[in-house]
Chain A
């Protein structure tokens, strides 16, 4: 068990407290899907694919005037530090899937596709902390790739505390660090998903102790991280669209 996470102001992986891990993202990685994206954040790698809008699988489930999002979240057995097969009904996975579903549902313009379904599949290939956030970001890019109209991006990032210092985007060893709570409760990890244009928070989850007055700082830090991520997403989308246009241009030229 590691008990020190900050060494002269630097974290174990050499980052400063308010620094994100290296993020690389790409859209259109799965030709078979209507939309897809891969999100690398440090050692965390998440693939997301989108199918739809299509007819609802269970027609009775969606007779509303809006498109219904369904999210399946898979954590690969080899994704963690030790191999572990999780059942389809794993409660943690179900909970993450539900949080993603409820957040993305508010982001899409569902009124355009009444009585239809948009399925999102999320595959976590490497889990090294911030899985929830990476999955959310990958899903957003995949939705954009599929051409689903959205009110805004959904950018997600988490923040935590290490030795009384607020840190951005903790990795798995930092997530598992012992906090200062009674009985050695885990250090707080606060994922925040927001709409970058308005800065309004849609998803906020916390599972360990945090004094009331520190919430504001941590939420602010995570929000700043979200804004950085949103900028990266915009850049990724611009690049992707540009390359698509270029490839189309070459096709028309050969014609």
Chain B
């Protein structure tokens, strides 16, 4: 500890970096669309984006829903306790969330499908895999990388029906992202009067305070967090903000290159839905929006892609397409039943299940496939 502080007094960091030198950053997009893993030195985090269709909040009927969860598992650092997030964890996740949500980095109106009825709910799950210091920067970078990498299925609204196109029919589309906020953290050391960029865990343990500036590549500050700790003067803050702006530009450039290298061609092509083959398909959204269930019953897309059947001719034969009964998907109870099913039914048939049939009588015929089944 004394060594670290003594070295800093001479402007040397224990890992050999200059005070304003960041660690190497690398991105990988490991599993599927919307999953991004970011490495910053020994810090490693994974961000996963998923989307489902829900009813909007009543006070914001024409905006989508954006939710964040941050998981500090004990795997990443012995300092994390399982089950509950520490005060530091709360601060980190709040700053990451604030930088993206409050600055409207993601266009929430574009997530609206039908005002007051159905919107996209986009979740961002952040997992700390390894805490090597500076989680704030790493998490916010991973979240933005994942948002940029994510694609949501295309939709169309026809009358009272909502059709979710699978990737094989229509290319999924990216989210509308206004700007890319990047968090840049400085560790403050009073004794040596230094602000070090991108502190490691050792430096975090001994620093007197920290300043995080979330800034985008256009030089617009999106968030600042300096919650107590060593006091610094106004000119120092402005100088650090300038440094942060430069660093953010660099990071956006690295991120853009990484996305181009891995995501560019795939952006136009099909997303790699890994579970597509093995999961039951759900024909479409339930019938009338007004009478439809308000709550979520559409499964999350990253685990259960929704296969739509826009026309009967396009829908594969029942044997090849192990789907739950169409009526089951048309009623909330049926949808629950479909979700509860871990594997496709052994002998799928278009005949509605008894419960589904009972529910069906209350509403008009729902999906085209069901109508097709009736015609048979």
Say yes or no: A184 contacts B231, CB within 8 Å. Answer: no
Chain B residues closer than 8 Å to A181, beta-carbon distance:
103-104
* Closest chain B residue, CB of each to CB of A190: B224
A42 to B374 Cα, complex, angstroms: 69
Chain A residues closer than 8 Å to B229, beta-carbon distance:
102-103, 106, 202
The size of the chain B interface, using a CB distance under 8 A, is 39
Chain B residues closer than 8 Å to A223, beta-carbon distance:
234
Known: A186-B102, A206-B223. A212 touches B245 (CB 8 A): yes
Decide yes or no whether B339 CB sits under 8 A from chain A.
no
Interface 1/0 per residue, B170-182 and A, CB below 8 Å: 0000000011000
Would you list which residues of chain A between 193 and 252 have a CB under 8 Å from chain B?
193-195, 198-212, 215-216, 219-220, 223
The size of the chain A interface, using a CB distance under 8 A, is 43
* Closest chain B residue, CB of each to CB of A181: B104
| A50, chain B: closest CB distance, angstroms | 17
* Closest chain A residue, CB of each to CB of B233: A200
The CB with the most chain A CB atoms within 10 A, among B209, B227, B232, is that of B227
Say yes or no: B222 contacts A205, CB within 8 Å. Answer: no
| A193, chain B: closest CB distance, angstroms | 8
Interface of B is mostly: mixed
A181 to B221 Cα, complex, angstroms: 11
Which of these binds chain A: B3-11, B87-95, B268-276, B281-289? B87-95
Say yes or no: A209 contacts B220, CB within 8 Å. Answer: yes
Chain B residues closer than 8 Å to A206, beta-carbon distance:
221, 223-225
| B39, chain A: closest CB distance, angstroms | 27
Would you list which residues of chain B between 187 and 240 have a CB under 8 Å from chain A?
208-209, 211, 215, 219-234, 237-238
Chain B residues closer than 8 Å to A211, beta-carbon distance:
219-221
Chain A residues closer than 8 Å to B223, beta-carbon distance:
205-208
Question: Which of A202, A208, A212, A219 makes the CB contact (< 8 A) with B103?
Answer: A208
Chain A residues closer than 8 Å to B107, beta-carbon distance:
183
Known: A202-B231, A216-B234. A208 touches B222 (CB 8 A): yes
Chain A residues closer than 8 Å to B208, beta-carbon distance:
106
Decide yes or no whether B109 CB sits under 8 A from chain A.
yes
Decide yes or no whether B108 CB sits under 8 A from chain A.
yes
- Chain A residues with CB under 8 Å of chain B are 91-92, 94-95, 98-106, 181-186, 190, 193-195, 198-212, 215-216, 219-220, 223
- Chain B residues with CB under 8 Å of chain A are 87, 90-91, 93-94, 98, 102-104, 107-109, 178-179, 208-209, 211, 215, 219-234, 237-238, 241-242, 245
| 9 nearest A-B residue pairs (beta carbon) | A102-B228, A200-B231, A103-B228, A183-B104, A99-B227, A206-B224, A204-B226, A185-B104, A202-B231
